[in-house]
Amino acid sequence: MPFVPSDNPTGAYQRIFTLSDGWQGKQTLIKFDGVETYFEVYVNGQYVGFSKGSRLTAEFDISAMVKTGDNLLCVRVMQWADSTYVEDQDMWWSAGIFRDVYLIGKQLTHINDFTVRTDFDEAYCDATLSCEVVLENLAASPVVTTLEYTLFDGERVV
């Protein structure tokens, strides 16, 4: 059974970030590449969410909480969580943000995921390239859009 000590060191991070007018009408995400161990995120005084997998990235949609101009980001990090039990390995026990934190601005209609597959013939001389693309529309109404892709061999279009 995981044990979380009652004496749990806690760190607080605070940063003001500024968004220009160009961020309006976009989905705004904040991504943490590494925080050990348990952490909570607040933007402009509003609770955003938490994560406790210190070796995993964590991404939060903060679109509804941010505004043009100055925004306040607060992160509360606790050293111990029930996930600490699983992460117990030969390493230093330290807590905090140890990798990058950054904002991502996506258009409301955007590529959410894609897969590119190459199937070769038996002689490995010729191949068929197939692409599977997942589009996401977060706009309030349907959108008509066009998706094009081009295959290059160096500078030459194939």
Per residue in 26-58, pLDDT tens? 999 999 999 988 899 999 999 999 998 777 899
Taking the alpha carbons at both ends of the chain, their separation in whole angstroms is 58
Residue type, 86: V
Span 85-124, pLDDT tens digits: 555 566 666 788 999 999 999 999 999 999 999 999 999 9
Rg value, the chain, Cα:
21
Q: What six digits make up the tokens of 53?
A: 């997998």
Domain segments of the chain as ranges: 10-107, 109-157
Residue type, 20: S
Looking at domain 10-107, its CATH architecture is: Sandwich (2.60)
Nearest alpha carbon to residue 78 among 48, 38, 34, 41: 38
Cis check: omega of the bond before 84, within 30 degrees of 0:
no
Kindly report the number of other CB atoms within 10 A of residue 139's CB atom.
11
Q: What six digits make up the tokens of 158?
A: 């194939």
